[in-house]
Structures are given as C-alpha cells and as structure tokens.
Chain A
C-alpha cells in the first residue's frame, strides 16, 4: 500500500468565488442570447446550464480536483448531444436516417471527426470530401467553415484537451466507464494504443483514393446515435450493423468492464490526429520524478492508456494525453502536476492548472454549454 499524503485543504469560499467570477461573467455573456428567446423553457435551460457550469468550475477551484467535476459536464454533454441531435432530425425529416439523395445535396451536418480526412484530398485535388455545406444554409446550419474555425481555436488553446472539453461523443463512454467501481479487465495490450493511428492512416488513404469520407460511411460508432444512411441495400444494412457493433462494443461494453475510454483509445482517428497538437498547446501534464514513487496510481487512473513505464521514466505522459486531469487527481504525492511549457516542473502547478482551466472551461461554456442548453430547452419545453 503506497504511503498517502494529506491533500491540500479546500480553498476558502471567498477566494474560490473570486476565481470563479470570470467564468460566471463569461457564462452570463454566452447564455444571455438563449435567455432572450421567447418562452420559458429556453430561459430556464440557460439558467440551469449557467449554474451548472459555474458551480462545477467553483468546485474545481475549491477542491483542487479537476477530473471529477469536469466529468459531470462531459457526461452531460455526451448524453444530451445525441438527444438534441436526434430531436432535430426527427423534427426535420421524421427519422434518424438520411436518404442518399439528401446526403448528396449537402444536407449532412458537419462533424469535426472528418477534419483530418479532408486535408489530403483538399491539398491534392482541391476537393472537400464531405457532403456538407461550406457556409451555413437554411436546411443545414452546421456549416463546415464554422466547425473548422471552432476546432482551430480550441486546438490552438488546448491541444488534445479538445477530447476532454469539446468532443460531444467522448462523454458517452466516459459515463459508462464511470459506472463500475473496479475494472473487470485490467490488462490491456499496450500495443493497441497505436490502433487509432492505424485507423487514421487507413481512413486518410482510403478517403483520398475513393473520394468519400470512409470513416463516416464505414467506421463511426456514433452514427448509431446520430445520423446514418437510410438502409436500402445490403451495403447500407452492413454499414448500419458495423455502427451498432462498434457503438455497443467500444462505447458501452468495453468502457463498463475496463473503466477506460476504449473508443478514444483504440479507434478514434480524430483523437490520434489531435494528439499532434499537444505539441503546439502551451499546457501539459508532467511527472515530477523527484516526488514520484512508482505506485502507478496515475497509470491506472488514465482513461486512455497515456501513461506507461516510459512516462514515469521520462516525466512526461504519452502524446495521446487528453489533459482530463485524472492522473493529477489520482496522485497522492503531488508528483503528477499541471505545467506550462517553458517553466520549471512543479514550481507553480496550481497556477498552471488554473490557467489551463480558464481556457478549457471558457471553451466548454461556449461550445458544450451551448449544446447542453439547447437540448435542455427542448426537454423543458415538454414540461413547462
């Protein structure tokens, strides 16, 4: 049993409130538009979301814990996004499935996972391989340009932190991973962590060769809870089957038994691509080797196999670290710390954490908060 050290006492209420004030003001600004919409439901939804986001940030500041409170937001986002999305699809066309004619006419809402697949065909052939609209239209308000701009801003700020604060799919598996107290499967082949890179290479190469978004048509587990091609042939039925199997396997069952985000760890090509931007982000997590006695609590806590023996040796997690904070919170010796690149490790870890949190939570309020508020407004509309 590793020796436990005392955690820092909670921050005072006054100081915590003061530190929460910028996020509160930012949230007020973000949700004021939703609150001005007619009807009581949008106002109520905006107020609830504002309180949720501010309260979670307050708790992160007060308790010095990041992962636990972030997870409430992230799981809410993961489960509310598909509800709102399916709601809109059913209202728009009465079904989750899209007929191929409508897809070809550019009616498919753009999803950030396509971004790495677009680059090679765009550079080589000047073609955007996605049946969406570059600019927003009446029938498709989720334009490619808007999503790419949002992604770019978040990526420059957070690197792979996108996967902990921005991805509206990751929360589903994080929710299932949180259900069990202990993992039933503890040993996972570490080589499998390279699988997302292989999926990335495969979909990028095949997308360029076939000029179709291969991941969306064949491999995306989240098609099972968003939008899929209307089943009219053996091929579309087979595709729908793949979506269902991948969703049940990687997003529901494996997270339940491993307590890991298995879809992110073993499949998601966007996550692999996003890892590269950890090099450009100012924030990262480091392991202070002078304090570390390899109890591997951080390794066990990491939801994406981003800490291994070589991480403890080098003092850095793997490139796939998504800055969720699980390892920092799990370390009882304070050896795993937040860090700003270019500064000494461990000297101002709390300041680094707060600076990272302001940028990450600011983005979470803007993007995920908006999604949560929109879906809550629809649900409250049924009651109010």
Chain B
C-alpha cells in the first residue's frame, strides 16, 4: 500500500476513534492538568509532554507489534499481561505524583534533610510525570489502539508500521486539544486539593485493577 494511502487510513482511524481514546486517557491526563494549575500556555505545554510520551508508547508498541507480527494482538494472555502491567504502572505513577503534590514542603530546610530529599525527588519526578504517564497510557490497550495495532502488524515493513501509528496518533490527538481549556481552573486554589484527592482515588482504582488482572494471569498460568 502506498505511504499516502496508509497515512490517510491511519489518520481517519485516529479521528473516528479519538473520543474513545480521549475517554480512556482522561482519568490520567485531566487530574494532572488540573493539579498543576498553569496558564493556557503552561497547560498546553503539559499536554504536549503527555502527548509526546503517548507517541513514544505508540511507536514502541508499533515496533513490538511489527516485530511480533499478529501474535501480540491475538494472544489473550499477553494482552492480559500488558493490561495488568500498565494498570500497575499507572497506579504507582499517579500515587507518586499525588504524594509529590502533598509532601513538597513550603518551608526550606537544610540540604540533605529528609524533607529536602523528598522535595528534590518530587520536583525531579514531577518534571517527567506527564511524559511517563503519557508513555504508559500509550501502551494501554484501548479498543482503537488494538485496532490500530492489528492494522500496523499487517503492514509490510517497520517504517510503515511506525508511520501508521504516528498518523493514528495525530488523528486521536485532535480530540485532546480542548483539554487545554482546563487552564480556566488556574485561579481556583481548591482545584489542586480536589485534583490530589482524585489522583489518589484513581491510583487506588488502577492498583485494584492491576491486582485483579495480574492475579488472574498468574492463577491461571
């Protein structure tokens, strides 16, 4: 298939299934955008970081999908494993992010004290949080992503598979752009508290989902 046709197909698949991708990624993306309380530009930058991480996840998955052929898409146990690991990863990342929002102390303390170390860790992690959350979200096997994975695996070369996923990503990303409007909550201090509680609740949810999925995986090994 010519590259133009493949790109158009992927783009259209992305646009048509974008709402499902948005619904699937929103539990991870929106609380983070709200928690940071940044201006429209700042929120846009965070969204870009998240989407860059998600693209990394897509392309990484594209490589796997192409290298393993159809087997990854058709093997239910492998799929269950990916689901479980993604949920576990999201639980850890979201909980760490929420704890970072809480534990960053307002008063400065001596270099090397536990609070200072925690703050430095939090600051460092928070810099990479949108990218890492985007990456794990990109690996989550939502239905449109599985459809794209099946199609990518049918392509004749790795560059074609990567092109397919990149164009699919662009199509779905259009649906994420309105989330920049979350910048309107910037002036409400309470939003950070609500977002932090939300992140903890979501982390608990993903942790439970991971335990159940991985438990089933290993029990039925």
Partner-B contacts on A (CB < 8 A): 120-121, 124-125, 191, 194-195, 197-199, 201-202, 205-206, 208-209, 211, 235
Chain B hits for A201, CB < 8 A:
30-31, 34, 194-195, 198
| A-B contacts besides A194-B193, A198-B198, A202-B201, 8 pairs, CB < 8 Å | A124-B23, A195-B197, A197-B197, A198-B200, A201-B34, A202-B198, A208-B23, A208-B26
A124 touches B30 (CB 8 A): no
Say how far A238's CB is from chain B's closest CB, in angstroms: 8
The answer to whether A202 touches B205, judged by C-beta atoms less than 8 angstroms apart, is yes
Contact A235 B212 (CB under 8 A): yes
Say how far A89's CB is from chain B's closest CB, in angstroms.
Answer: 28
Chain A residues with CB under 8 A of B205 = 202, 206
B24 partner residues in chain A, CB cutoff 8 A? 209
Which 10 residue pairs across A and B have the least CB separation, nearest first?
A198-B197, A205-B27, A208-B23, A202-B201, A198-B198, A197-B194, A201-B198, A194-B193, A124-B19, A194-B194
Tell yes or no: B12 within 8 A of A by CB. no
Residues from chain A with a CB closer than 8 A to the CB of B23 are: 120-121, 124-125, 208-209, 211
Q: Does B80 contact A (CB under 8 A)?
A: no
Contacts of A211 in B (CB 8 A): 23
In the assembled complex, the CB of B60 is this many whole angstroms from the nearest CB of chain A, namely 22
Q: How far is the CA of A376 from the CA of B205 in the complex (A)?
A: 41
- Residues on the A chain within 8 Å of B201, using CB: 198-199, 202
Q: Are A209 and B26 in contact, CB atoms less than 8 angstroms apart?
A: yes
Closest Cβ of chain B to A377, distance in Å, is 41
- Whether A125 contacts B193 by the Cβ 8 Å rule is no
- How distant is B136 from chain A, measured CB to nearest CB, in Å? 14
B binding-site residues for A, Cβ under 8 Å: 19-20, 22-24, 26-27, 30-31, 34, 190, 193-198, 200-202, 205, 212
Question: Which A residues are CB-close (under 8 A) to B198?
Answer: 198, 201-202, 205
Output the nearest chain B residue to A207 by Cβ-Cβ distance: B23
Q: Report the minimum CB–CB distance from B220 to chain A (whole Å).
A: 14
Which A residue sits closest to B206, measured CB to CB?
A206
A194 contacts B190, CB within 8 Å?
A: yes
Bound complex: CA A202 to CA B24 (Å): 13
From B193, B197, B212, name the one whose CB has the most chain A CB atoms within 10 angstroms. Answer: B197
CB contacts (< 8 Å) of A198 on chain B: these are: 194-198, 200-201
Q: What would 11 A/B residue contacts be, using CB atoms closer than 8 Å?
A: A124-B23, A125-B20, A194-B197, A198-B196, A198-B200, A201-B34, A202-B205, A205-B26, A205-B27, A209-B23, A209-B27
Q: Which residues from chain A contact B196 at a C-beta distance below 8 Å? A: 198
Nearest-Cβ distance from residue B26 to partner chain A, whole angstroms: 5
Q: How far is the CA of A211 from the CA of B20 in the complex (A)?
A: 10
Hey, which chain B residues are within 8 Å of A120, CB to CB? 23
In the complex, A367 Cα to B30 Cα: how many Å? 37
Residues on B with C-beta less than 8 A from A124 are 19, 22-23
Q: How many Å from the CB of B54 to the closest CB on chain A?
A: 15
Do A205 and B19 touch (CB < 8 A)?
no
Query: Cα distance A198–B200 when bound, in Å?
Result: 9
Smallest CB separation, B10 vs chain A (Å) = 21
